[in-house]
Amino acid sequence: MKITRRSALALAGSAVGAAAATRAAAQDGKEVTLTILSHKVHEIVARGLAPGTTGGDIAGEWAKRNNVKLVWITADIDPMHDRLLRELTLRSTAIDLAFVINKYATPRMSRLLEPLAPWNQKEPIEDFKGIPPNLIASTTYNNSLFAIPFRHATTGLHYNQAIFKERGLSAPPGTPDEVIDYARKLTFTRADGTKVNGLTVPAGAGPFAVLSMLNMFGAELMDQKLNVKVNSPEMIKALRTVHELYKEGVLPSNYATLSIDEVITSVQTGQAAMVFDPFARYTIYNDPKKSKYAGQIKVIPIPADPASGRKIVAMTEIWSMVIPKNSTHKELAWSLIRDLSSPANTIRAALNGNGPIRPAAYNDPRLKEKLPYTQQEQIAISQATTIPSSYDASGQVNMIFMEESQAAVLGLKTPEEAVASMQKRIVPLVKR
Amino acid sequence: MMKKPGSAAVALLAPVHLLLLAAIALPSLYVFWMSLNESTYGADPVFVGWRNYEVVLTDPYFWRAALNTFVVTNVVVYLEVAMGLGLALLFTSGLPFRKLMFAAVLMPYAVSEVVGVLAWKILMDPNYGVIGRTLADLGWGMNWSASPVQGLVLVSIISIWQHLPFTFLLLYAGLLSIPRAVYEAANIDGAGPVRTFCHVTLPLLVPTLLIVVIFRLIFAIRMFSEVWLLTKGGPARLTEVLSVYLYEGAFRNGEFGTAAATGWLMVVSSILVASFYLWQMQKRIASGNA
Amino acid sequence: MPKALRQLLRAFAVLVVFCWSAGPILFVVSSSFKRQLDIFAYPPKVVFQPTFDHYVALWHQWDAFLPTLWNSVIASVGATVLAVGVSFLGGYVYSRYSGKLLAISAVYMIAIRLLPPIVVTLPLFPVVDYLGLSDTLTVLILLYASFWVSMCTMIIKTFIDEIPTELDEAAFVDGATHLQTITRVILPLSLQGMMAAAIFVFVYSWNEYLFALIFTTQNAKTAPLVISEVMDAIYGTDWGVLFAGVTIQLVPVVALVVLGQRLLVAGLTAGAVKG
């Protein structure tokens, strides 16, 4: 790895914190084990495990400097949070550092986590202000910072250029109406009987992808202050349009159960022309080993209704780092969090495939060169919102949204009935 | 005349019951106590009496899930036992490539439920699945994703596929253990194959059938992966079964009181559904005419 | 029915059974040797140039797979031996003794198996941690065995029922002790039932996910945990690698089934003895 001025500075900066941690480690003279609970993706980007990436082993270098042995426990999203919550209730847990996704970061969980503001005061994260305040706000509850953002996954609109050409379309859609219009034009059956769906979305996987799509019409579940906004003309219009698209066969017939995997496969096999999905999916959509259309799948930010005064809409999911209140190596954990959060290491992790939470990272020439989609992603993240989760019943609300929106899209209920019912059921849960 | 259990018998039984007590019975009692409390991660439990049961029993989604579970369980278990018995008879009456076929029939059991369901989901995909696409091209396309009935039909098919090895293996082993002399005697008496089956084979197979049906009912009532991975209980929660209701509705939200109450309600309903068979089994053990 | 027609029907039945049972598995196994592009091709590629890329990728990207596979072997074999062993003793008692209390205990044994395991893990987790059993294969072996002893006991009981009591009595008359009778007379004749029970425990333990997720960290991590990580919600499932892992996982199960087949059919002759 070439040592740039930036990373040299970062090294110097983290050395202060590292010194304190090393003292702790050196006291008993032997290697300390630090256990991290995360999704596999965090280990991959923090250690540079994906083939062809150039960010290097960030966490490994920190561990070496501090004479620490890192143990990663990795599992898929739901199981790893299940495990984390159980660990948090023990008298003392072996988990020293964990990565949590924002939809699980409820007040209930935050109470079991170490407040990080005092740590940040004692040994501040380098250029803490470089992390967007709205992200910090999403990891703060009752004025207490409980997590440091590490990774974002922001939705964009991916489209298959080859199919666009085939259907006589030369440019990506620029407005929501065009998205709908194009989706209809892109729906057809090939000579061999293969059906191509103009539009798809992993609607069975959870509310995030569906809300990203509905967001295009200006519809939202609730605003950032937890005012439930689901019973709106925008939501009714959005659900009605999606219902029509479903009925016409523009959306796949198995819409309601579409998993992320099924959507990926249908894009890779050319059976879906456009998809609402995180930007980072670009890599697998264009992987020549897996995709029939490698190099042909492009991605843009999701266009917004011009009348709304916005150009684009975007929704994002944030992964953040937390320290359990009942962990035993808080000092070391904080040292690693600081290290991973530094501006230089944010760029390195991005080069390893991470979605960098510091907007400044996108200006790095290496990143521009390496990952062509990041410029589009940068535009999207500047406008992105999260589904708020700063209330305990967030899980139930997601479930209600899935149930009612599916009923509206499949035609089991009218959109008006569905949104009225949602509003009625969700409001008391958020207030509670 | 069967012996009454003495100290030797108690010693032989002890290991089984110690394992059950430590790993399941005591935790289950604790779960019962949890069901009388409101509890979640990191909060002290609050005693609420039977309120969790009240919450669950007045929830229409619980009853929908219970109905789905009841129907699917009965269809799956009895169809599967019939198929398993047919298959076992095919094996005992001799068939070509028996060794290969035996391995083939047990194959579905060798992969985890998750992998089995995912393989089926791919095969049934209307766009690229070998079965789903072929059916669609023939005009018999299923839309198990949008239709709750079709969804549950597919769930049942997958469930039978996955557990047929269990049913088959027990019934086959049961058939094999029937002494040959019994058949020879029937033969001498001039009984035809149907008569022999009804009057000789079936009565001797009753103890095995009891075990098969009881345990298969238990597994079917707890069915989770098939539904969770195929439909997640959708569309609009219409294909939920009790386990999915418990997991999605309570457990994932950290509402352990209601989750525990649902768990115990599942225990009670399982006992009710299997009560006839359990009664038969205990009668046999009590009187010793196994 | 003419013989030829019967043969034809039988052959047809065999074909149907084969496709039904093995079809989806053959799809998984053959896909593990296909390029990912071909896995989802329609019409499916029946003839293809096999590739071992996915096995190589499994080896490189999932270096935890092999050690966890070994943990799975220990946990599964351990649980099988423990469960079948204690169930054999229990099954003997349920077969050879009778009484109201015994009958009630049999029902109790089945009834407590009815609570969904995910709920049972709630109180178990802190206890296992307190006992220092977290991340050990011991806890997996104990749990897997416990969850199957009810059924194994009942299965083995039905097989011991088939053994005439005259045989035990003859052994007693010859001066054999209780334990000698069980091991020398009953055990060889109930191998069939034990084999059937063993297959169930092994296969369950081999694929078990929930307990492994909750109770292991690193040292006792089992293969299904790695397999489940290949099915990933962020990068998307790496199907070829997943199917390669599943195919490798199939090997010991197939071996056990082949072995089981021998024991079961050996029972045909044992059946003659019993009569």
Q: Is the pLDDT confidence value at A314 over 70?
A: yes
Residue with tokens 């399982």: B270
CB contact under 8 A, A266 and B127: yes
A353 alpha-carbon distance from chain centroid? 13
Chain B hits for A250, Cβ within 8 Å: none
pLDDT number for residue A368 = 83
For C263, nearest residue in chain B (alpha carbons): B173
pLDDT number for residue B28 = 94
Q: Is residue C196 part of a domain?
A: yes
Q: Is residue C25 part of a domain?
A: no
Nearest to A218 by CA among A287, A117, A303: A303
SS3 (DSSP) at A77: helix
C191-217 residues labelled b (16+ CB within 10 A) or e (exposed): bbbbbbbbbbbbbbbbbbbbbbbbbbb
Tell me if A256 sits within 8 A of B234, measured CB to CB. Answer: yes
Q: Which of residues A343 and C164 earns the better pLDDT score?
A: A343
- Percent of chain B past pLDDT 90, that is, above it, reads 59
Average pLDDT, stretch C26-55?
91
Tell me if C44 sits within 8 A of C37, measured CB to CB. Answer: no
SS3 (DSSP) at A123: coil
Token readout for C110 is 């089945």
DSSP state of B23: I
Q: Is residue C16 part of a domain?
A: no
Q: Is the pLDDT confidence value at A355 over 80?
A: yes
Considering only residues 391 to 420 of chain A, which have any Cβ-Cβ distance to chain B shorter than 8 Å?
392-393, 395-396, 399, 402-404, 406-407, 410, 412
What is the value of ipTM here, to two decimals? 0.90
Q: Is the pLDDT confidence value at A126 over 80?
A: yes
Cα torsion angle, A170, A172, A178, A179, sign:
positive
Interface probe, candidates B133, B232, B238, chain A, greatest A C-beta count within 10 A: B232
- Give tens-digit pLDDT for C93-109: 999 998 899 999 999 99
Backbone φ, ψ for residue A69 (5° rounding) = -100, 125
Chain C hits for A90, Cβ within 8 Å: 126, 129
- The whole-angstrom separation of Cα C7 and Cα A411 is 51
What SS3 string covers A262-327?
A: HHHHHHHCCCEEEEEEEHHHHHHHCCCCCCCCCCCEEEECEECCHHHCCCEECEEEEEEEECECCC
Residue with tokens 């170490």: A114
Q: Is the pLDDT confidence value at A4 over 50?
A: no
**Which of the residue ranges A27-41, A246-260, A267-281, A340-354 would you say has the lowest mean pLDDT?**
A27-41
CB contact under 8 A, B41 and A109: yes
Beta-bridged to residue A277, according to DSSP, are A156
Tell me if A303 sits within 8 A of A178, measured CB to CB. Answer: yes
The domains found in chain A, sorted by start residue, are 5-153+318-379 (3.40.190.10), 154-315+387-431 (3.40.190.10)
Label the pairing between strands A195-200 and A302-303: unpaired
For A38, nearest residue in chain C (alpha carbons): C229
Whole-angstrom CA distances from A429 to A49, A211, A400, A421, B260 are 42, 19, 11, 13, 21
Q: Which residues of chain B have pLDDT under 50?
A: 1, 290
Mean of the per-residue pLDDT values of chain A: 90
Q: Is the pLDDT confidence value at C267 over 60?
A: no
Average pLDDT, stretch A98-111?
93
Residue A327 — pLDDT band, cuts 50, 70, 90?
very high
Chain A CB within 8 Å of residue B207 CB? no
- Domain spans of chain B, in order of start: 53-287
Mean of the per-residue pLDDT values of chain C: 89
- Give tens-digit pLDDT for C36-45: 888 998 888 8
Tell me if A317 sits within 8 A of A331, measured CB to CB. Answer: no
- Give tens-digit pLDDT for A282-302: 989 999 989 999 999 999 999
Chain C CB within 8 Å of residue A15 CB? no
For C41, nearest residue in chain A (alpha carbons): A269
Class of domain B53-287: mainly alpha
CATH code for position C137: 1.10.3720.10
* pTM of the complete model: 0.91
B37, containing H or E segment = strand B37-38
Q: What is the DSSP string of C182-210?
A: IIIIIHHHTHHHHHHHHHHHHHHHHH--H
pLDDT number for residue A53 = 86
Task: Calculate helix-pair angle for B130-137, B113-123, nearest 10 degrees.
Answer: 30
As to burial, measured by CB atoms within 10 angstroms (0-12 exposed, 13-18 middle, 19+ buried), residue C179 is: exposed
DSSP state of A255: G
- Give tens-digit pLDDT for A358-367: 999 999 998 8
Token readout for C118 is 């995910």
- The whole-angstrom separation of Cα A347 and Cα A343 is 7
Q: Is residue C143 part of a domain?
A: yes
Chain B hits for C111, Cβ within 8 Å: 267, 271, 278
Residues of the domain holding C124: 55-268
